[in-house]
Amino acid sequence: MSGAAGPIAQECVEGYLFATPPVELLLFRRPPARGRFWVPISGKVEPTDPDFEGALRRELAEETGLARPRDVFPLDWDVTFPSESGAPWRLHAFGVEVARSFRPRLSDEHDDAAWVGPDDAIARLHFEDNRAAVPRLLARIRDRRSPNV
């Protein structure tokens, strides 16, 4: 999905919420007016955000009510894509560990949420870059748990 030319018109963030063990991801479904497909939490970086992680933490609070995740870490997955207008936007992806008991407060951006395994997440996620981020997330989780790192 990369390859859009020109300066980046908008920076964006997305967060893949997960719990372990076993690894499950919390996905969110857009309402019918927004396509009715499954996605991670995402949003635009605002001028008042201190950095990309700060933007993600704001989006998590706005879209789910999550104030204090267990852990937030970059996936080093930055995807450039064309916006609806054709301007290049860039997305910065993060892993977000939460308690398995976490139940999101849905905003008007989502009408459902579901805990699913990694294979089901890949099958449900609408966008190619979202599906490609899941194995990257799993590798980061494994690396962070390994005593050899």
Question: Apex CA 143: angle with CA 132 and CA 134, to 5°?
Answer: 15
* 134 and 126 Cβ atoms separated by less than 8 Å: no
For residue 38, what pLDDT is reported?
A: 98
75 closest CA partner among 2, 126, 132: 132
Asked if the model's pLDDT at residue 149 lies above 60, the reply is no
- Whether the per-residue pLDDT at 109 is higher than 50: the answer is yes
Q: How is residue 116 written in tokens?
A: 């699913």
Burial class (CB in 10 A: 0-12, 13-18, 19+), 9: middle
Cα(1)–Cα(80) distance, rounded to whole angstroms? Answer: 7
Q: Which helix (DSSP H) or strand (DSSP E) does residue 85 occupy?
A: none
- Domains observed in the chain: 22-145 (3.90.79.10)
Q: Are 96 and 18 in contact (CB under 8 A)?
A: yes
Residue 3 phi/psi, 5-degree rounding, is: 115, 0
Q: Give residue-wise pLDDT tens across range 48-106.
A: 999 999 999 999 999 999 999 999 999 998 999 999 899 999 999 999 999 999 999 99
CB 127 within 8 A of CB 121: no
